[in-house]
Amino acid sequence: MLLGRSGKGRHRRHGAKQAFEDKLTNVGFLRTQIELVDCVFDENEVDEIWITFPDPQIKYKRTKHRMTNPDFLNKYKKILKPNGMVHLKTDSEYMHGYTLGLLQGLGLTIEYAHHDVYGTTNAPKEVTNIQTYYESQYLAINKKITYLRFNFS
Give me the average pLDDT of each 10-residue run along the chain (153 residues): 49 75 85 90 95 93 95 97 96 97 96 95 92 90 97 92
Query: Which residues belong to the active site?
Result: 55
What's the pLDDT score for residue 5?
A: 46
Closest CA to 95 of 128, 48, 62: 62
Beta bridge partners, 150, equal 86, 110
**pLDDT for 7:** 47
**CA nearest 52: which of 149, 152, 118, 151?**
149
Considering the domain delimited by 2-23+37-151, tell me its CATH architecture: 3-Layer(aba) Sandwich (3.40)
**Chain centroid to CA 98:** 14
Our measurement of the distance from residue 82's CA atom to the centroid of its chain's CA atoms, rounded to an integer in Å, reads 18
